[in-house]
Amino acid sequence: MAKNVAEEVEASSSSSPLLSVEGASVEFWTGSSWLRVVDQVSFVVPAGGRVGIVGESGSGKTMTGLAILGLIPGPAGRLAEGSIKFDGHDLAQLPPAEMRRIRGNDIAMVFQEPMRSLNPMMSIGDQIAEGMRRHWGWSKKKATNRAIELLDRVEIPAAAQRAREYPHHLSGGMRQRAMIALALACDPKLLIADEPTTALDVTVQAQIIELFRELSDERDMALLFITHDLGVVSELCSDLVVMYSGQVVETGDVDRVFDRPTHPYTEGLLQSLPKLGAGNRELGFIPGNPPDPAALPPGCRFQPRCPHALPICETSQPELLTIGDRQSRCLLNSELSLQGVGS
Amino acid sequence: MTAPLLEVDNLSVQFVVGRGRRKRIIRAVQDASFSIGHGETLAVVGESGSGKSTTAQAILGLVNPSAGSVMFEGSDLLKNSSREMREVRRHLQVVFQDPYSSLDPMMTVADLIAEPLDNFEKLSSAARSDKVGELLELVRLPANAATRYPHEFSGGQRQRIAIARALAVNPKLIICDEAVSALDVSIRNQILTLLRDLQEQLGVSYLFIGHDLSMIEQFAERVAVMYLGRIVETGTVEEVFRSPRHQYTGALLSAIPTHHKALRAGRIILQGEIPDPASPPSGCVFHPRCPAATEICGTTRPPAVQTKSGEALCHHPLEIDSRG
Amino acid sequence: MTTVTEHDAVKALQFEPHETPSSNRKTEGPYRRLARRFRSNKLAMTALVCLLLIVAAAIFAPLLAPYPPAQISMENRLLPPTSGHLLGTDELGRDTLSRLLYASRTSLLAAVTAVGVAVVIGLPGGLAAGFFGGWPDKVLSRIADAVMCFPYLLLAMAIISALGPGLRNAMTAIGLVYAPRLFRIVRAAVLEVRHSTYIEAARTSGTTSIRSITRHILPNISSPLIVQVTVMLSAALLAEASLSFLGFGVTAPDASWGMMLGRGFGNIRTAPWGTYWPGLAIAVTTLSLNVIGDGLRDSLGRERVRPPRKARKSGGAG
């Protein structure tokens, strides 16, 4: 089982987490000013741990993932502030050459649409082998053999054959597996996955989730799983980071957050989950839409949609408070008793 | 017992791809039969290659079926000329999956919503304006949306615009082709709730096509599960969800990611991938991936096992009440 | 590492800062957006002003011209620019400035006529071929390909020989030669939008094919179309100049810039200024049209923003 944050912290007070994001903010130039799309986000990923970042469109979750890898599309985008400590180094301060060494080698990323990330002009095997040849200086033969091993591990049948094929020959599920094999090529310590299963069929999604679980266990590889699907996060991750409108609004152990959320948005998301019970016709939803980053409400960003909001929520902006091993960004934190979903 | 609004009988749709020796026949839909009553919602659920979207296209007259009939309000749509089909379209509307490409970016919301009106009725400018206002109110959008352009709205709001357009000429049946699949979860349920309310208000029926079983339970009354072009199970939502009979339905239900540890424990993870529709497996199309498959499954087409509210085509149907 | 690069990251991105959707922002329809972006392009705006001045000069030629353009004055032949004749005179003593002004009418009108003919033939053809496909497309495309095989000036001259002399025929010929090009461009633009979901949605809303073409296709191809028409105007202008220079276009006593250039060419040793002015007029007008076309093209593409060059923390891909 993956370690969760609390256990990790207890187990080794001297060792720091593998990834520690502190106060990271991402901004985009709109032509007249800087627009902040990720606002002072902080969270940790312990070595070998599995953390899920949950949010909907506009929450800034994808940007956060890209920021860690230094892939914010420039020059219009920038990491305005904050630190991203990985294995002792602050990635935000690293020179480009150093960053290139880490990318693909220590930290790998898997995207939602593998067709866009795989080079259509190279065979699968060659693409996977390239990383090993580049980062580790391996010979083509050695690297290709390992590539076939990896394809086999991600359960692509007839791996040796497939290694010679091109991305467009593979089905969606296969491509995503190839993408994962590619990410694993240089044995990364951290794998960032951005909505890797969203575009897949439900039965294939179940297979891929199982694969992620196995890989993370057997390689002691940390996983940062970015998604909008709380159900998937509950299956795979031990810790949860909920983002809304560019901010972290809640963090904590998955089971505990599900059982008793401390932020109304989390509560709303949980209530929107399918209620797989006989004859239940209730459809939970959150009214309204996420705010325009260029026209944020003066107080709490969730307030316009919050069923528990009080007048103070319209004027004061809540801070992210730490309570034990959980965090929450709600002014009415202590007064609310929010409804979770059982397990 | 009034006749159903829509009755699809043994519908088959084939596509021919390639030429000469490389010609392949893709049987996108095979012998599909189902019906929808007035004011009712039928969900057709399947993964890629299941033929669910093709079925909708066949009903709408966007593709030509190779066999079968589609009775809508008593007359066979497939026998219609294109002019007759156009008339039918007043009563048979669609909401598409992608809210970003289904609205013409160069038209205002008012023009978009009023397009069916312009096609079928001659309204004065004032009447048209009023009707647009009414429709916007029905879908709970602000009145000032009428003069704006689609790009100013979010995905959920765009779907509301699409729904308003679909409602413009008072259709009897609306086909929701993955209409909420591209939306965020919290918005998705907003739209489903809206659709449900509209059904109560206006008595419109829905043919709801989707791949995500998890939202069907709250939304539809009946469900048809499709796999590789065939309907493998039908029934009421209550029955199918509580007591799936077809092995594929069972696997589909158990694959839904969930925090319920008890449900996870009984999960069936299917091996392999969905086969190529151009060369479907013999016998039962599901047998290569079926955990309960035996020899007969590979040679003989499965029989229809009757359930309380529908049927399942399976040699080895699941036990009743297997999901409790 | 090829897997994770900035290129992939941009592709994985569906977020565009300007496209943040919301119902709170000011209404900006697609045409207004185009106008706004074009207005901010200084070079394009300069070219537009320049073109408008030229057009104004053409319209108000009778008021601006100091002399009647056809007034012959044998004692004032081939004068250099003087106070009496700001741009000099031609070989028949006619005031160059006045002729230039009147010639602008001819040349501009000629270009517009040519492009008009091209549009009248090419636009419906391209719409039909792109929208309906099948046989209409095959037949029309082959015709277009066949016509485009011929070098355009030769083809124009051949058509002129058939139709007879005169500027109107000459420009019709140019229009006919350009029609296949426009056809191709329209067809390509239509194909790009033909299978959009909103076209399918229009069909299910009961919209007929013809109405789909006018209500949906046309507005959505208007952008590339406008750019092409602008560029084509400049090409047509040059084509008219070439034809008239060679003697195939305008006939005396009318003048066009090309014809003036041709005549001036004959006296290039003794009075080179006879070629400067029409040459300059042609060059400036075509340049303006081209710059406007470029500006339009830029305004229609993705909005690219560069932040100010202040010191900024890392962010771009290393």
What is the interface pTM, i.e. ipTM, of the complex? 0.86
- How close B266 gets to chain A, by Cα (Å)? 13
Dist. CA A50–CA A69, nearest whole Å: 18
Residue C213 binned pLDDT confidence (cut-offs 50, 70, 90): very high
A70–chain C Cβ distance below 8 A for any pair: yes
Cα torsion through A95, A97, A99, A102, rounded to 10? -140
Per residue, what are the HEC states of A212-276? HHHHHHHHCCEEEEEECCHHHHHHHCCEEEEEECCEEEEEEEHHHHHHCCCCHHHHHHHHHCCCC
Positive or negative: CA dihedral B272, B276, B277, B281 = negative
**Residue C310: pLDDT over 80:** no
Choose among B104, B115, B153: nearest Cβ to C21: B153
pLDDT number for residue A4? 60
For residue range C45-59, what is the model confidence (pLDDT) as tens digits? 999 999 999 999 999
Q: What is each CA distance from C249 to A152, B209, C69, C260, in whole angstroms? A: 73, 64, 19, 12
Distances (CA, A) of B47 to A205, B231, B269, C193: 11, 12, 15, 28
**Spatial distance between the Cα atoms of C238 and C240, rounded to a whole number of angstroms:** 5
CB-CB neighbors (< 8 A) of C30 in chain B = 105-106, 149
A 108-167: CB under 8 A from C: 108-109, 111-113, 116-117, 119, 122, 127, 130-131, 134-135
Nearest to A283 among B189, B211, B256 (CB): B189
- Which of A28, A40, A37 is CA-nearest to residue A83? A40
User: How many other C-beta atoms can be found within 10 angstroms of the C-beta atom of residue A319?
Assistant: 12
Tens digits of per-residue pLDDT, A82-100? 999 998 889 988 888 888 8
Spatial contact of A328 and A248, defined as CB atoms under 8 Å apart: no
**Quick check: B245 and B312 in contact, CB under 8 A?**
yes
Q: What is the pLDDT of residue C86?
A: 82
Find how far residue B129's CA is from the centre of its chain.
Answer: 32
- Tell me which chain B residue has its CA closest to the CA of residue C196: B101
CB atoms A74 and C316 under 8 Å:
yes
pLDDT of residue A7: 53
Among A34, A127, A292, select the one facing C24 at the smallest CB separation.
Answer: A292
In this structure, what token pair is assigned to residue B204?
A: 């419109």
Q: Which percentage of chain A shows pLDDT scores above 70?
A: 94
Residue B266, CB-side half-sphere exposure with 13 Å CA sphere: 11
Q: Which residue bears the tokens 């497309």?
A: C137
CA-wise closest residue to C318 among A19, A103, A82: A103
Which chain C residues touch A95 with a CB distance below 8 Å? 318
Q: Which of A37-51, B288-302, C83-97 has the lowest mean pLDDT?
A: C83-97
The answer to whether A226 touches A259, Cβ cutoff 8 Å, is no
> Which of A177, A255, A276 is the best residue to mutate to test the B interface, defined by the most B CB atoms within 10 Å of its own CB?
A276
Residue B24, CB half-sphere, CA atoms under 13 Å: how many?
10
Q: What is the pLDDT, as a whole number, of residue C313? A: 46
Residues 6+ apart with CB under 8 A from A337: none
CA dist C277 to C93, C245, C256, C263, C280, Å?
16, 14, 12, 12, 5
Per DSSP, which regions of A57-166 are E strands?
Answer: 77-86, 89-90, 107-110
Quote the pLDDT of residue B1: 52
Distance in angstroms (rounded) separating the CA atoms of residues C92 and B92: 76
- Estimate to the nearest angstrom the gap between the alpha carbon of A332 and the chain centroid: 28
A198: Cβ contacts below 8 Å, ≥ 6 apart: A112, A227, A228, A229
As a dihedral over the C-alpha atoms of residue A287, residue A292, residue A297, residue A299, rounded to 10 degrees, the angle is 90
Give pLDDT, residue B323. Answer: 65
Both tokens of residue C8?
């992939």
Tokens of C191: 């194909």
Burial zone of C14 (CB within 10 Å; 0-12 exposed, 13-18 middle, 19+ buried):
exposed
E strand map for chain A: 19-29, 34-45, 50-54, 77-86, 89-90, 107-110, 190-194, 222-227, 239-244, 247-253, 321-323, 326-328
Read off the pLDDT of each residue in A230-236 and give the average, rounded to a whole number: 91
Query: Which chain B residues are Cβ-neighbours of C21 within 8 angstroms?
Result: 151-155, 157
**Matching residue, tokens 């007035």:** B38
Tell me whether A115 touches chain B (CB under 8 Å): no
**Per-residue pLDDT, A23:** 93
CB distance from A142 to chain B under 8 Å?
no
Q: Tell whether the model's pLDDT for residue C316 goes beyond 70.
A: no
Q: Is the pLDDT of residue A177 over 50?
A: yes
**pLDDT tops 60 at residue C22:** no
Of A179, A108, A119, residue with least CA distance to A150: A179
Q: Which of A201, A268, A285 sits opposite B193 (nearest CB)?
A: A285
Residue in B66, B6, B13, B57 with CA at minimum distance from that of residue B205: B6
Q: Which residues of C, range 1-20, sit inside 8 Å of A by Cβ?
A: 1-6, 8-15, 17-18, 20
Contact residues on chain B for A203, CB-CB shorter than 8 A: 47, 251-252, 255, 269-270
Give the chain A residue whose CA is nearest to the CA of B191: A285
Please report the pLDDT score of residue A5 as a whole number: 60
Give the whole-angstrom CA distance, residue A242 versus residue C133.
Answer: 50
Say what the pLDDT of residue C284 is: 95
| More confidently predicted of B51 and C306 | B51
pLDDT tens, per residue, chain B with 324 residues: 578 899 999 999 998 888 878 888 888 999 999 999 999 999 999 988 899 999 999 998 888 899 999 999 888 888 888 888 888 888 999 999 999 999 999 999 999 999 999 999 888 999 999 999 999 999 999 999 999 999 888 889 999 999 999 999 999 999 999 999 888 888 888 999 999 999 999 999 999 999 888 888 888 999 999 999 999 999 999 889 888 999 999 999 888 888 887 777 778 888 878 888 888 888 888 988 888 888 888 888 888 888 888 889 888 888 877 664
What tokens were used for B152? Answer: 């100013």
Residues sharing a CB contact under 8 Å with residue B284, sequence separation 6 or more, in sequence order: B290, B293, B297, B298, B300, B301, B302, B313, B314, B315
Q: Which residues contact C161 (CB under 8 A, 6 or more apart)?
A: none
Q: Beta strands A19-29 and A77-86: pairing type?
A: antiparallel
Write the single-letter amino acid at A219. R
* Cβ C274 vs Cβ C290: under 8 Å: no
Distance from CA of A288 to the nearest CA of B (A): 8
Residues of C in contact with A113 (CB under 8 A): 11-12
Gap between the Cα atoms of C175 and C235, Å rounded: 11
| pTM of the predicted protein model | 0.86
How high is the pLDDT of residue C47?
A: 94
* CB contact (8 A) between residue C25 and residue B152: yes
Question: Is the pLDDT confidence value at A239 over 50?
Answer: yes
Identify the chains in contact with B, defined as 3+ C-beta pairs within 8 A: A, C
**Lowest-confidence segment of A190-199, B230-239, C71-80, C221-230 by average pLDDT:** C71-80
Distance, in Å, from the CA atom of A109 to the CA atom of C2, rounded to the nearest integer, reads 12
Token pair of C211 as six digits: 């109405």
Contact between B154 and B207 (Cβ < 8 Å): no
**Percentage of chain C lying above the pLDDT 70 cut:** 86
Q: Report long-range pairs for C277-281 (Cβ below 8 Å, ≥24 apart).
A: C277/C87, C277/C88, C277/C96, C277/C97, C277/C100, C278/C100, C278/C103, C281/C54, C281/C100, C281/C103, C281/C104, C281/C107, C281/C257
- E-strand stretches of C124-165: none
Alpha-carbon Rg of chain A, whole angstroms? 21
Residues in chain A: 343
Q: Which of residues 9-28 of C touch B (CB under 8 A)?
A: 19, 21-23, 25, 27-28
Q: What is the pLDDT of residue B32?
A: 93
Which chain B residue lies closest to A279 (C-alpha atoms)? B238
**Cβ contact C275:C268 at 8 Å:** yes
Pick B152's closest partner by Cβ from C21, C206, C208.
C21
CA distance linking residue A207 with residue A181, whole number of Å? 15
The mean-pLDDT minimum among A157-171, B105-119, C279-293 falls in A157-171
DSSP assignment letter at B290: -
In the A/C pair of chains, how many CB contacts fall below 8 A? 141
